[in-house]
Chains A and B, each alone.
Chain A
Amino acid sequence: MKIICRCQDVTEDEIIAAIRQGATTIDEIRRLVRAGMGQCQGRTCRRLVAQIISRELKTPPAEIYPPTFRPPNRPVSFELIMAELERQEAENGEKK
């Protein structure tokens, strides 16, 4: 058993099963078996998934539809966002 997405524990077999159901893109595989949905958002497994698609469907890697990149760039807590909002408010208050 080969783990491809280590954040979500997704195996190579699961990815191949998704391809057999018709998935041809990294995004579809992410949605069906959650490879790339975890903490690192696919930083590690994105290329491995592309390689598996390329191998299984005999498509050159350059022709695989590019995945979507979504914010935030790193996990961010609500606490941190609230602190940032407070800081902005204080700054605006000073300006007035």
Chain B
Amino acid sequence: MNRAFDAVIIGGGILGVSTAYELARAGMKNVCVLERHYLASGSTGRCGGGFRQQWSTEANTLLAMDSVKRLEGLEEELGYHTEFFQGGYLILAHTPEEEQQFAKNVEMQRSLGLDVNIVDPDEAVKIVPYLNKETIRKATWCPKDGHINPFLLTQGYANAARRLGVQIHLWTNVVGIMKKSDTFFVMTESGNTYQTPLLFNCAGGFSRSIGAMLNVEIPVDPYRHEILVTEPVERLWNPMVISFSVGLYARQEMSGGVVMGMGDPNEPVGTFVGSSMHFMYEMAQRFTRLFPKLDKLRIVRQWAGLYEMTADAQPILGPVEEVDNFYQASGFSGHGLMLAPAVSQILADMVVNKRKSEVADSLNVKRLYNLKDVVKEKSVV
């Protein structure tokens, strides 16, 4: 088999396949995606499936707005049903500090043209019935946020990419990379070597180790995030609901199950994605605090995935100084699915059309080598 390609992408999650699709769409022939298990088997297929434009930093807000614009026409473009649903995002403020921070966020978001409002508890309960309004002071509401099925979005991109000639090699684990003059030699566990002049690191929670294979520091730390889903029930509400201080997000899938997850500040760095009893106990307490009337819901499944965190909870995009033509799309800090539609397009534009991107420049990895000036994204569960 010929293993020489114009571009090789490491990682078959949403970032890898969307980037492959955009490269091919921009006219690049001969693109190959290497995935060590199957499509979306890492963070993508384990995530909560939300997309939102409500962020505390401008870079994230702009990327997310681009992404949603892209998502709006994507089902038609890919010819694939993805359960794309603009049910909105309701973000709960429980404390005076949150109220203040959210007012600032909303002001910034509105200045960028986002349709977002602050609502009082009565209105919030109209949007999300069963919510215990005693617990909240205010909420922010963006009706154009929403959720999507991560498996279907990845598969849709993959199918469309294949139609444009992209090859996707599953069960292909990268174990080493060398660069000689202008060619990368990508070695796999089964003993094959891929050759390419252009390499993308879309390895999510494992992007630090991929970078290390070329002696490039990619400061991304993976943390386990646990999540569960209940049995399917009749429609309860449409939006994704999140609370940063309770530490919870919850949405109802199109198939009826309520998916919910939480952040755990005590989680150590690591790639372990097993499930814990502790999570089930903790999640039950948090969920019933916000939704006391829904305590009869039954959990059918719990699992976990990785948040690939950077110091400022914003992604790493674009080239690196040490190695030419080694592009990064990683460190999405739990938000890869929702940013991928924009990021993949920016990367393809950068590489194929040599177009500059201000947002991508501001998210270059070098900002993380000197943490003094880093401004952290605050809106993370």
Interface residues of A (CB under 8 A from B): 8, 21-25, 27-28, 31-32, 34, 37-39, 41, 68, 70-72, 75-79, 81-82, 84-85
Contacts and interface: CB of A to CB of B under 8 A. Distances in A.
A25 B38 contact: yes
Q: Is the interface of A mostly helix, strand, loop or mixed?
A: loop
Interface of B: 38-41, 45, 151-152, 155, 158-159, 168, 170, 231-232, 255, 257, 275, 280-281, 284-285, 287-288, 294-303
A84 B298 CA distance: 15
A81 B280 contact: yes
A41 B158 CA distance: 27
Chain B interface mostly: mixed
A14 to B, nearest CB: 12
Contacts of B41: 27
B38 A27 contact: yes
B300 A41 contact: yes
A70 B303 CA distance: 7
Contacts of B151: 31-32
Contacts of B152: 32
Contacts, number: 80
Given A78-B294, A85-B281, 7 more contacts: A34-B255, A39-B231, A41-B301, A70-B303, A77-B297, A81-B284, A85-B285
B45 A82 contact: no
Nearest to B168: A22
B275 A70 contact: yes
Contacts of B231: 38-39, 75
